[in-house]
């Protein structure tokens, strides 16, 4: 009986399966597709959640690193009440901390971060404990300024060394000429008349110096550069005197930025300054704008202004109205071939006055050339012959015209 019942149920199930085959097949496919879709959705959901968690982890790591970098900094406190602070990032900019925590940059007031205020607190504590230079460096971080026992350099001592060339670099109205005039006044006090070459200056600025140029006269500027070049050539050709035994002759270019744009071959002076000029005690001082200096490669290895020239960088301070605070102007000296900026004491009082400026040319030289004479000198420097110069300047050549060319050249010390 039991076996018959089982057989009957099996027969009924089989008949039902046969009769409803299509419906059962469709139901099975529906279940299968639904299962696959759920699996794919689960995989996508897990992938999205995993990606989001990974991104959050990366953001947290980056935020912690940035926060750590903000805490990685160097502050230097000097005995003159000034201090500098910067991140340890080699591309970071030094910023000055004054006696108040506010920071003024180009007339805009900003409040420092918490770590900067903490540095400011450390600065005041260090100044209260000692008057000697003190350095606060975060443990494990490299020191980016000179040793704590290094006092600010004496600008006059550094910038009056023989066999060197110098550059005074700063922005507009930051006091570049002011500092240069003190150096020139020192040479005047030593009985040496510096030569100042430039397209303009205020009368009375360069007391006791020979002034060449002025009034936008670049012809006179070019001639003055030619005079200095000739002086150097004569000293190198002098076999009776050792190179470093020649008298010191300082030459100031005020300012160098427009000179190189207007005078051909003037730029070569930067390369020749230490190899040819300083070696015979002709000391060149280049006064130029900071943007021009950077364009020439002050911060690039191999550039003449980086490797050959001792540089003074002048950085002004501003009040909340954007006006320059002269008493807070900072000076940093970078020696030739170095990348360390060392603080120096800038001049604040007017330079001493020793006589009126001499609006004349150096001894043994004629007066600055007139326009026609300058044309003759320029053609001669280009290698033109006497006849070709006469034809170009006077429209014809011959005995009289050729003689006039020779007379002009002889007048300016050119032997023909």
- DSSP annotation string for 280-330: GTEEEEEEEEHHHHHHTTTTSTT-HHHHT-EEEEEEEEE-TTS-EEEEEEE
> Phi/psi at 84 (nearest 5 deg)?
-130, 145
Q: What number is the average pLDDT over the span 80-88?
A: 55
Q: Which is higher by pLDDT, 138 or 282?
A: 282
Q: What is the pLDDT of residue 143?
A: 42
Q: What is the pLDDT of residue 284?
A: 93
Q: Which is higher by pLDDT, 144 or 346?
A: 346
Q: What is the pLDDT of residue 352?
A: 75
Look-up: residue for tokens 């999205």?
A: 48
Q: Which is higher by pLDDT, 212 or 150?
A: 212
Q: With contact defined as beta carbons under 8 Å apart, do 244 and 163 qualify?
A: yes
Query: Residue 257: exposed, middle, or buried by beta-carbon count in 10 A (0-12, 13-18, 19+)?
Result: middle
Q: What is the pLDDT of residues 163-172, one digit of tens each?
A: 889 999 988 8
Q: What is the pLDDT of residues 356-383, one digit of tens each?
A: 555 444 434 445 555 677 777 777 777 7
Q: What is the pLDDT of residue 144?
A: 44
Query: Hey, what are 382's tokens?
Result: 């280009």
Percent of the chain residues topping a pLDDT of 90: 10
What's the chain's average pLDDT? 75
Q: What is the pLDDT of residue 322?
A: 77
Q: What is the pLDDT of residue 250?
A: 94
Q: Is the pLDDT of residue 238 over 70?
A: yes
Angle at CA of residue 399, ends 397 and 405, nearest 5°: 70
Q: What is the pLDDT of residues 300-332, one digit of tens each?
A: 666 667 678 899 999 888 877 778 777 788 899
Q: What is the pLDDT of residue 268?
A: 83
Q: What is the pLDDT of residue 200?
A: 84
The whole-angstrom separation of Cα 302 and Cα 304 is 6
End-to-end CA distance of the chain: 146
Q: What is the pLDDT of residue 312?
A: 92
The alpha carbon dihedral of 216, 222, 225, 231 has a sign of: negative
Query: Residue 320: exposed, middle, or buried by beta-carbon count in 10 A (0-12, 13-18, 19+)?
Result: exposed
Range from 103-107, 111-115, 295-299 that averages highest in pLDDT: 295-299
The whole-angstrom separation of Cα 118 and Cα 324 is 27
Q: With contact defined as beta carbons under 8 Å apart, do 212 and 368 qualify?
A: yes
The whole-angstrom separation of Cα 392 and Cα 208 is 39
Q: What is the pLDDT of residues 107-158, one digit of tens each?
A: 455 566 666 666 666 666 665 554 433 334 444 444 444 444 457 888 988 9
Long-range contact set of residues 94-103: C-beta below 8 Å, sequence gap at least 24: 94/341, 96/317, 96/328, 96/330, 97/123, 98/317, 98/328
Long-range contact set of residues 146-149: C-beta below 8 Å, sequence gap at least 24: 146/340, 146/342, 146/343, 148/76
Query: Hey, what are 144's tokens?
Result: 């980016």
3-state secondary structure labels for all residues of 21-41: HHHHHHHHHHHHHHHHHHHHH
Q: With contact defined as beta carbons under 8 Å apart, do 407 and 415 qualify?
A: no
Q: What number is the average pLDDT over the span 74-84?
A: 51
Look-up: residue for tokens 């460096």?
A: 137
């Amino acid at each position: 009986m039991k076996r018959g019942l089982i057989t009957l149920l099996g027969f009924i199930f089989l008949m039902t399966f046969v009769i409803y085959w299509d419906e059962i097949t469709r139901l099975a496919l529906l279940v299968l597709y639904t299962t696959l879709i759920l699996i794919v959705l689960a995989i996508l959901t897990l992938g999205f959640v995993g990606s989001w968690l990974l991104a959050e982890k990366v953001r947290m790591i980056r935020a912690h690193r940035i926060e750590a970098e903000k805490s990685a900094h160097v502050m230097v406190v000097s005995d003159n009440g000034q201090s500098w602070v910067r991140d340890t990032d080699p591309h970071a900019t030094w910023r000055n901390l004054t006696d108040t925590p506010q920071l003024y940059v180009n007339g805009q007031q900003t409040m420092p971060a918490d770590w900067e205020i903490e540095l400011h607190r450390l600065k005041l504590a260090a100044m209260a404990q000692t008057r000697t230079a003190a350095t606060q460096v975060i443990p494990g971080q490299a020191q980016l300024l000179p040793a704590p026992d290094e006092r600010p350099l004496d600008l006059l001592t550094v910038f009056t060394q023989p066999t060197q060339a110098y550059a005074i670099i700063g922005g507009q109205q930051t006091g570049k000429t002011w500092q240069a005039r003190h150096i020139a006044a020192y040479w005047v006090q030593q009985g040496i008349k510096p030569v100042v070459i430039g397209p303009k200056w205020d009368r009375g600025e360069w007391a006791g110096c020979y002034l060449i140029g002025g009034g936008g006269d670049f012809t006179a500027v070019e001639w003055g550069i030619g005079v200095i070049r000739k002086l150097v050539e004569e000293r190198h050709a002098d076999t009776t005197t050792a190179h470093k035994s020649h008298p010191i002759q300082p030459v100031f270019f005020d300012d160098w930025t427009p000179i190189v744009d207007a005078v051909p071959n003037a730029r070569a002076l930067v390369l020749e300054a230490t190899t040819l000029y300083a070696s015979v005690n002709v000391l060149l001082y280049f006064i130029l704008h900071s943007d021009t200096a950077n364009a020439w490669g002050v911060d690039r290895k191999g550039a003449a202004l980086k490797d050959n020239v001792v540089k003074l960088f002048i950085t002004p301070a501003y009040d909340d109205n954007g006006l320059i605070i002269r008493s807070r102007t900072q000076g940093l000296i970078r020696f030739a071939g170095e990348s360390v900026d060392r603080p120096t004491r800038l001049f604040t009082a007017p330079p001493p006055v020793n006589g009126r400026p001499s609006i004349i040319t150096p001894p043994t030289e004629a007066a600055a050339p007139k326009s026609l004479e300058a044309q003759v000198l320029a053609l001669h420097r280009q290698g033109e012959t006497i006849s070709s110069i006469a034809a170009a300047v006077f429209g014809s050549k011959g005995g009289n015209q050729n003689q006039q060319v020779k007379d002009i050249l002889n007048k300016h010390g050119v032997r023909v």
